[in-house]
Amino acid sequence: MSDTTTDDSTNEIPDDATPRAKERIIALAAERTALRQQLDAVGPKLAEVTTLQAQLSAATEERIRAAAEWSAKEAAWQTDRALLAAGITDPEAADIIAHAYSRVTPAEGADKPSLATWLQDRAALPKGVQAYLPASAAATTTTPTATTTKAEPVKTAPPNANAGAGSSAPLNGPLSAAEITEMMRTPEGIERYKKVRAAHLAGLRA
Q: Dump pLDDT digits (tens) for 188-198.
A: 888 888 788 87
Q: Tell me what the pLDDT averaged over the chain comes to.
A: 74
Residue ranges per structural domain of the chain = 15-85, 86-205
Q: 3-state secondary structure string, the chain? A: CCCCCCCCCCCCCCCCCCHHHHHHHHHHHHHHHHHHHHHHHHHHHHHHHHHHHHHHHHHHHHHHHHHHHHHHHHHHHHHHHHHHHCCCCCHHHHHHHHHHHHCCCCCCCCCCCCHHHHHHCHHHCCHHHHCCCCHHHHHCCCCHHHHHHHHCHHHHHHHHHCCHHHHCCCCCCCCCHHHHHHHCCCHHHHHHHHHHHHHHHHHHHC
Is residue 43 over pLDDT 70? yes
User: What's the whole-number mean pLDDT along residues 10-16?
Assistant: 64
Is residue 151 over pLDDT 80? no
Residue 64's pLDDT band, with cuts at 50, 70 and 90, is very high
Residue 12's pLDDT band, with cuts at 50, 70 and 90, is low
Is residue 21 over pLDDT 50? yes
